[in-house]
Amino acid sequence: MRTISLEELLEAGCHFGHQVVRSNPKARDYIYEARDGIHIIDLAKTKEGLEEAGKYVKKVAQTPNSTLVIVGTKRQSSDIIKNSAEKAKKEVKEDPGIYFVTSRWVGGLLTNFAEVSKNFKKMEELNENLSDPQKQKGYTKREVRMWQKEKDKLEKLYGGVYALNKKPDLLFIIDSRLEDIAVKEAIRTGVPTVAITDTNADPTLIDYPIPANDDAAGSLELIIGYIMDAWIEGKNSLKLKVKSEKLEETKTDNSKKPKVNSKIKATDKPKSNSKNKD
């Protein structure tokens, strides 16, 4: 994990909080001062929170089959999240275990996963039917258009999570105040959370809060990028560990096999059963 400098955080605009009148009293420990009616976040606390969160994210990623869901429905965070997910797929190559929600949080995604996941299966069926002309035979063009319309609707809601087959191991939330339903569901189901908590949010609800500006593009790019790098690093180290363990098992198996001595000494002569004649 690389070290984040205070200068990086400052240049990214991570220190700008919300108006003083909109602040959450529980966020006061992360506030450095108020300037022109705006709270300024203590970047030393931001650095500390970000690096602690990064270490935890890396640790979770090192667990086999672990999954992360990024929750960010703000317009300015949507493209950053999608690009980060694509980067993870390229750098991890195998399933990176990253999913995302950028449209709106669907209630019950954690607390009623079994029911919500039925829509995931429905979306997979629609994708299959729409991509196979043979399965469209016997249906009118209007019916096929209805499939497409339903698929588009489900894609908007579940496009980033429909491949999820179990509750995630971790939520990374971009704005904990805006995504309050996701936070409540995570608490109720025991799913750990990492979140950007601005001065208007309650950081005590989050397992690993990152006090920072949750609106500025520069702040979002820096923090999301850092957390994604931590996840990628964890997944890649897991791959190396598994590969190393398999190699060690192969060596151990080979060492247990009996060694066969195929060499015959030149002095050794086969015994003859016949007697020498006089």
Range from 46-50, 117-121, 163-167, 249-253 carrying the lowest mean pLDDT: 249-253
Task: Please provide the average confidence, as pLDDT, over all residues in the chain.
Answer: 88
* pLDDT value at residue 89: 87
| Res. 244: pLDDT tops 90 | no
Predicted TM-score of the model (pTM): 0.84
Report whether pLDDT(22) > 60: yes
Count of C-beta atoms within a 10 Å radius of residue 44 = 12
Q: Which two tokens stand for residue 98?
A: 């990253």
Q: What architecture (CATH level 2) is domain 8-110+167-245?
A: 3-Layer(aba) Sandwich (3.40)
Strand order in 31-35's β-sheet? 16-19, 38-41, 31-35
Q: What sign does the CA torsion over 198, 24, 179, 185 have?
A: positive
Mean pLDDT of 199-219: 97
* Whether the Cβ atoms of residue 18 and residue 199 lie closer than 8 Å to each other: yes
Between residues 90 and 270, the one the model is more confident about: 90
Whether residue 174 has pLDDT greater than 50: yes
Confidence at residue 169, expressed as pLDDT on a 0 to 100 scale: 97
The conformation of residue 35, written as its DSSP 8-state character, comes to: E
Residue-level pLDDT at 256: 65
Residue 206, phi then psi, degrees to nearest 5: -105, 140
Q: Look up tokens 């690993």; give the residue.
A: 208
The pLDDT of residue 131 = 86
What is the DSSP-derived secondary structure letter of residue 23?
-
Q: How confident is the model at residue 28 (pLDDT cuts 50, 70, 90)?
A: very high
Task: Give 70's pLDDT tier (boundaries 50, 70, 90).
Answer: very high
Give the model's confidence band at 248: pLDDT under 50 very low, under 70 low, under 90 confident, else very high.
low
Look at residue 278 in the predicted model and tell me its pLDDT.
43
Quick one: pLDDT band at residue 249, thresholds 50, 70, 90? low
- For residue 154, CA distances in Å to 25, 97, 150 come to 39, 21, 6
Spatial contact of 13 and 46, defined as CB atoms under 8 Å apart:
no
Strand 16-19 relative to strand 38-41: parallel, antiparallel, unpaired? antiparallel
Q: Decide: 201 and 190 in contact? Cβ < 8 Å.
A: no
Measured CA to CA, the distance from residue 242 to residue 64 in angstroms comes to 9
pLDDT higher than 90, residue 213: yes
| Cα 170 versus chain centre, distance | 7
Place of tokens 């000494």: 265
- Mean pLDDT score, 152-161: 90
**CB within 8 Å of 96: residues ≥ 6 apart:** 85, 88, 89, 231, 232, 235
Q: Is the pLDDT of residue 267 over 90?
A: no
